[in-house]
């Protein structure tokens, strides 16, 4: 059987892992795919590195465009990253009738609608299992395994860097800045960690999962994004006392009036399995009507875990290479003409519970004033801690957990509480999901 020829764009960590795993498991992969899968060409700016990884028998070039237009190449694997040249290369590969495998969540979250439309028109496949949660086959589960279900919501720890930081803050009681330095020293965080710690990376992934789960277009620009930079050890400790863990979650929920799409630090009951996902691991919890809750757990990054997903996509495309395009699994699970343009709701319309921490004067009547304001906004209290003030201190912390409410009511109540003369500074607010 004639081998499938693959052109690899970028031979960094994941590209190197893809080479290694393809070579090591060549026999197994061929048995599954029905024909050999060979990386015949590699494009990378660093030709020395490419030569070291790829060895003999592979064409090396620093011109990626020569790969996407090469008539000998069947599948292009894009591992360059970013929005710019990667978009041009992917669209050029599609234009030239090549199937595409990509691990580029940023590209798909922002330009996915355009890319899938181009692929549909040309009758080629774009596979992207590696773009979300590394080696965990969550895209396949959402797109195929759960296709009998109405998916109601999903919630994921989908950024290993932030999960490592939050785990260390909880275990060691250290402030955010100290743990970030440790994460950078260990290689868990980039030199510029903005996309991770500000929640952007998780929002790219949540956007992709929401599109597949609910059959809607990619709407990254509508996602609400809040990172972990303002989290304090005190809040992690108070959450623990109340029986909760704080995780950065990517959440997508289908409601009758639209879709919630949000990324933010979230209190989760500590008895939930997902609350106990520690270190750099990832997990996605999916709630669907027929199957109930399913949890997908594993390594969300790294050379070989991500390569595992890249190669699974190569095997899928190889199997379906000659299939009629009309009978392939649709990119976003739903048939292209059945994708519905359902609105993503603004954060003010989100319905959730809240953790509120406020610094108040230790005097009679303060608690009554605060609870009256919450009641005026239709917010009821689920649990509360009032700390004894320290020796010689005239102020103390009050911590409250609320029942479900709409965010705009919480905003109004918080503004009124902050205006009270007995409350100093801002009210600390963290959303809470019981999952």
The torsion defined by the Cα of 136, 199, 232 and 171, in degrees rounded to 10, comes to 20
Q: Whole-number mean pLDDT of the chain? A: 94
**Residue whose tokens read 């024909």:** 35
pLDDT for the residue numbered 301: 87
Contacts of 149 (CB under 8 A, 6+ apart): 288, 289, 290, 291
Residue 421: how many other CB atoms lie within 10 Å:
7
Query: Which among 152, 171, 170, 160 is positioned nearest to 210, based on CA atoms?
Result: 152
Which pLDDT score, from 0 to 100, does residue 334 have?
Answer: 85
Of the pLDDT bands very low, low, confident and very high (cuts 50, 70, 90), residue 388 is confident
DSSP secondary structure code for residue 344 in this structure: B
The string of pLDDT tens digits covering residues 292-350 is 999 999 998 889 999 999 999 999 999 987 677 777 888 887 888 888 999 999 999 99
By DSSP bridging, strand 37-43 and strand 423-432 are unpaired
Q: Which two tokens stand for residue 46?
A: 């660093």
pLDDT band at 49 (very low <50, low <70, confident <90, very high): confident
Do 147 and 332 form a contact (C-beta atoms < 8 A)? Answer: no
pLDDT single digits (tens) 102-111: 999 999 999 9
Please compute the mean of the pLDDT values over residues 419-425 and round it to a whole number. Answer: 95
The helix/strand/coil state of 389 is coil
Count of Cβ atoms closer than 10 Å to residue 180 Cβ: 24
Q: Averaged over 36-43, what is the pLDDT? A: 95
Find where tokens 């237009």 sit.
69
Of 50-54, 148-152, 372-376, 427-431, least confident by mean pLDDT is 50-54
Residue 270 contacts residue 244 (beta carbons within 8 Å):
yes
Q: Are 133 and 201 in contact (CB under 8 A)?
A: no
pLDDT at residue 73, rounded to an integer: 97
User: Does pLDDT of 45 surpass 90?
Assistant: yes
Question: Which residue, among 130, 153, 143, has the nearest Cα to 287 in the 3D structure?
Answer: 153
What domains, with CATH codes, occur in the chain? 4-135+303-338 (3.40.50.720), 138-299 (3.30.360.10), 349-432 (3.30.70.260)
Q: Per mean pLDDT, which of 182-186, 229-233, 336-340 is the most reliable? A: 229-233
Asked if the model's pLDDT at residue 414 lies above 80, the reply is yes
**Angle subtended at Cα 148 by Cα 144 and Cα 150, rounded to the nearest 5 degrees:** 105
- Residues assigned a catalytic role: 205
Q: In 3D, which of 178, 176, 223 has the Cα closest to residue 201? A: 223
pLDDT at 320: 86
Q: Are 352 and 429 in contact (CB under 8 A)?
A: no
Radius of gyration of the chain, Cα coordinates, nearest whole angstrom = 24
pLDDT of residue 327: 75
How far apart CA 115 and CA 91 sit, in angstroms, is: 7
Round to whole Å and give the CA distance between 144 and 157.
Answer: 21
pLDDT tens figures, 5-15: 999 999 989 99
Separation CA 302–CA 418 (nearest Å): 44
Instruction: Please spell the DSSP secondary structure of 175-237, one letter per residue.
Output: -HHHHHHHHHHTTSS-SS-HHHHTTHHHHHHHHHHHHHHHT----GGG-EE--STT--HHHHH
Q: Over range 213-220, report the average pLDDT.
A: 97
């Amino acid at each position: 059987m004639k081998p499938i020829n693959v052109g690899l764009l970028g031979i960094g960590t994941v590209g190197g892992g893809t080479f290694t795993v393809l070579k090591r498991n060549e026999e197994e992969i061929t048995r599954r795919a029905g024909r050999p899968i060979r990386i015949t060409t590699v494009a990378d700016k660093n030709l020395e590195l490419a030569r070291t990884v790829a060895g003999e028998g592979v064409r090396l070039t620093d011109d990626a465009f020569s790969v996407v237009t090469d008539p000998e190449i069947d599948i292009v694997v894009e591992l360059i990253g970013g929005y710019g040249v990667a978009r041009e290369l992917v669209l050029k590969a599609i234009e030239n009738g090549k199937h595409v495998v990509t691990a580029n969540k940023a590209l798909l979250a922002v330009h996915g609608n355009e890319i899938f439309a181009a692929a549909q028109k040309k009758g080629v496949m774009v596979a992207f299992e590696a773009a979300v949660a590394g080696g965990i086959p969550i895209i396949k589960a959402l797109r195929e395994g759960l296709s009998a279900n109405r998916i109601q919501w999903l919630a994921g720890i989908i950024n290993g860097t932030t999960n490592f930081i939050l785990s260390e803050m909880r275990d060691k009681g250290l402030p955010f800045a100290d743990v970030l330095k440790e994460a950078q020293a260990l290689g868990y965080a980039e030199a510029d960690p903005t996309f991770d710690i500000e929640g952007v990376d998780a929002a790219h992934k949540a956007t992709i999962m929401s599109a597949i789960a609910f059959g809607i277009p990619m709407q990254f620009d509508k996602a609400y994004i809040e990172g972990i930079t303002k989290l304090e050890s005190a809040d992690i400790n108070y959450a623990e006392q109340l029986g909760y863990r704080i995780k950065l979650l990517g959440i997508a929920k289908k409601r009758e009036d639209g879709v919630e799409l949000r990324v933010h630090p979230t209190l989760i009951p500590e008895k939930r399995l997902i609350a106990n996902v520690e270190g750099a691991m990832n997990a996605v919890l999916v709630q669907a009507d027929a199957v109930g809750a399913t949890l997908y757990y594993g390594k969300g990054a790294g050379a070989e875990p991500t390569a595992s997903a890249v190669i699974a996509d190569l095997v899928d495309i190889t199997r379906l290479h000659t299939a009629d395009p009309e009978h392939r699994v649709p990119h976003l699970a739903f048939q292209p003409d059945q994708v519905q343009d359902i609105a993503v709701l603004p954060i003010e319309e989100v319905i959730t519970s809240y953790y509120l921490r406020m610094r108040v004067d230790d005097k009679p009547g303060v608690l009554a004033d605060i609870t009256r304001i919450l009641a005026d906004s239709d917010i009821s209290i689920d649990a509360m801690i009032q700390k004894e003030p320290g020796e010689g201190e005239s102020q103390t912390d009050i911590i409250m957990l609320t029942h479900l409410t709409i965010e705009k009511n919480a905003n109004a109540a918080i503004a009124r509480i902050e205006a009270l003369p007995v409350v100093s500074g801002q009210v600390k607010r963290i959303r809470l999901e019981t999952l």
